[in-house]
A and B are shown apart, each in its own frame.
Chain A
Amino acid sequence: MESSSLLLFFLAAITLVGAAMVFSSYIPPTSTNAVKFEPYECGIETIGDTWLQYTVGYYLFAILFLIFDVETIFLFPWAVVMRSAGMTGFIEILIFFAILGLGLFYGWKKHALRWE
Chain B
Amino acid sequence: MSALIFIAIFGIIVLYLGFANNKAILAPAAIGGLLITMALSIKDWGVGSKYFHDMIVVDNFSIAFNVSMLIITILIFLFGVNYYKRMEHHVAEQYALMIFALTGAFLMTSYSNLIMLFLGIEILSIPLYILAGGKKSSYRSNEASFKYFLLGSFSTAFFLFGIALVYGASSTFYLPEINTYIAQFNGHLPPMLMVGLLFILIGVSFKVAVAPFHFWSPDVYEGAPTLVTAFMATVVKTAGFAAFYRLLGMGLLPLPAALEKTLWVMTGLSLLVGNLAALKQSNFKRLLAYSAIVHTGFMLLAMLSQHDSAGSVLLYYTFVYSLATIPLFIIFIHMKRSAKGLEDLVIFRGLYKQKPWVAVFMTILLMSLAGLPPTSGFMAKYQVFTLAISQGYIAITIFAIVMAIIGVYYYFYVLREAFTDSDEPNPILIPFLNAALIVVCGIAVVLLGLFTFTIPI
Interface residues of A (CB under 8 A from B): 2-3, 5-6, 9, 99, 102, 106, 109
Contact = CB atoms under 8 A, between A and B. Distances in A.
Contacts of B12: 99, 102
Chain B interface, >50% SS class: helix
B431 interface: no
Contacts of A106: 15-16
A109 to B, nearest CB: 6
B192 interface: yes
A6 B191 contact: yes
Contacts of B168: 9
Nearest to A102: B12
A6 B195 contact: yes
Contacts, number: 21
A9 B16 CA distance: 49
A5 B192 contact: yes
A109 B92 CA distance: 14
Nearest to A10: B195
A109 B191 contact: no
- Say what secondary structure dominates the interface of chain A: helix
B389 to A, nearest CB: 36
Nearest to B19: A109
Nearest to A105: B16
Contacts of B19: 109
Contacts of B16: 102, 106
Nearest to A9: B192
21 contacts: A2-B190, A2-B191, A3-B190, A3-B191, A3-B192, A5-B190, A5-B191, A5-B192, A6-B165, A6-B190, A6-B191, A6-B192, A6-B195, A9-B168, A9-B192, A99-B12, A102-B12, A102-B16, A106-B15, A106-B16, A109-B19
Interface residues of B, number: 10
A99 B12 CA distance: 9
Interface of B: 12, 15-16, 19, 165, 168, 190-192, 195
Closest 3 CB pairs between A and B? A3-B191, A6-B192, A6-B191
Nearest to B193: A6
Given A3-B191, A5-B190, A109-B19, 16 more contacts: A2-B190, A2-B191, A3-B192, A5-B191, A5-B192, A6-B165, A6-B190, A6-B191, A6-B192, A6-B195, A9-B168, A99-B12, A102-B12, A102-B16, A106-B15, A106-B16
A9 B12 CA distance: 43
B55 to A, nearest CB: 16
A51 B67 CA distance: 51
Nearest to A4: B191
Contacts of A3: 190-192
A9 B191 CA distance: 12
A64 B12 CA distance: 17
Nearest to A99: B12
Nearest to B189: A2
Q: Which of A6, A99, A102, A106 has the most CB of B within 10 A?
A: A6
Nearest to B190: A2
A2 B191 CA distance: 7
Contacts of B192: 3, 5-6, 9
Contacts of B165: 6
Contacts of A2: 190-191
A94 B12 CA distance: 17
B10 to A, nearest CB: 13
Contacts of A9: 168, 192
A102 B168 CA distance: 38
A99 B195 CA distance: 38
A106 B93 CA distance: 11
Contacts of A5: 190-192
A55 B168 CA distance: 44
Nearest to B194: A6
Nearest to A106: B15
